[in-house]
């Protein structure tokens, strides 16, 4: 089973370093692939693609939210989202993550879900259709 997911790609290692620092300041481990290859030969970008930013699967949604908030122009480079099983849109957020909450009610829900871990609740919510779900249903 793959432990990592690619959350974004970058043409230049310097761009990746800035976002890596932001994610690491939020306690998310970041792994950059092909960083040194592209740094030593910038023309290799066309051959191998780009610098790939990977995070642990369990940190993916949080990392995605942080990237979108701190650098909205990078949302074009985000390579993978969770798809809502109801409307098939890629506008899903983790409900128990305070960092990605976008309103007072969502913050209260996130706090409640984090304080009551034994209560059965849906982990993800689509911001498009408001459908709540778990990934492993």
Residues 28 and 7: beta-carbon distance below 8 Å: no
pLDDT, one tens digit per residue, over 72-123 is: 666 544 544 567 889 988 777 666 555 556 667 777 776 676 665 545 555 6
The separation between CA 127 and the C-alpha centre of its own chain, rounded to angstroms, equals: 15
56 and 118 share one domain: no
pLDDT at 6: 84
52 and 15 share one domain: yes
Q: Is the pTM of this model over 0.85?
A: no
Structural domain contains residue 85: no
3-state secondary structure of 9: strand
Helix (H) or strand (E) holding 55, with range, is: strand 51-56
CATH of the domain at 31: 3.30.70
Structural domain contains residue 23: yes
In the chain, % of residues over pLDDT 90 = 16
Q: Which domain holds residue 8?
A: 4-76
9 and 72 share one domain: yes
- Residue 57 burial (CB count, 10 A): 13
Average pLDDT of the chain? Answer: 76
Domain count within the chain: 2
């Amino acid at each position: 089973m793959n432990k990592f997911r690619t959350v974004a790609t970058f043409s230049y290692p310097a761009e990746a370093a800035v976002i890596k620092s932001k994610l690491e300041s939020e306690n998310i481990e970041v792994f950059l692939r092909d960083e040194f290859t592209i740094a030593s030969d910038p023309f290799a970008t066309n051959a191998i693609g780009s610098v790939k930013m990977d995070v642990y699967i369990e940190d993916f949604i949080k990392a995605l939210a942080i990237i979108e908030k701190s650098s909205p122009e990078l949302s074009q480079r985000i390579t993978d989202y969770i798809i809502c099983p109801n409307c098939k849109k890629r506008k899903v957020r983790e409900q128990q993550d305070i960092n990605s909450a976008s309103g007072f009610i969502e913050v209260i829900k996130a706090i409640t879900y984090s304080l009551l871990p034994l209560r059965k609740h849906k982990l993800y919510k689509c911001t498009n259709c408001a459908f709540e779900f778990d990934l492993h249903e």
